[in-house]
Amino acid sequence: MFDELDPLLHQQLRLAVMSLLISVQEAEFTFLREKTGATAGNLSVQITKLKDAGYIEVTKGYKDNFPQTVCKITSLGLTAFENYVNALEKYIKK
């Protein structure tokens, strides 16, 4: 009846990050922080979790001499997101 909701995605900030990465393909840490309004610390932790799960790919480089972290969704992440949305819809459809 009620499928499990992927606990990794069923969390506001991580879900917002995934949502953004789906629409923009690739995003910098600072972009994600601005769009989500999260603190850098919290965002850092949640990005690490998504990366550890293989849902996103994280590339660390430099831009204008400053460290730059770029995130990109993986196909595993995309599938997980789709599954999550499908499961969720059973909870919220009228």
Smallest gap from Cβ 35 to its own copies, in A, equals 6
Three-state SS at 87: helix
In whole angstroms, how close is the CB of 6 to DNA at the nearest point? Answer: 11
Closer of 29 and 84 to its own copies (Cβ): 84
Burial class (CB in 10 A: 0-12, 13-18, 19+), 69: middle
Task: Give the C-alpha separation, 44 to 63, whole Å.
Answer: 18
Contacts with its own copies, residue ranges (CB under 8 A)? 1-2, 4-5, 10, 12, 15-16, 19, 22, 35-37, 84-85, 88, 90-92, 94
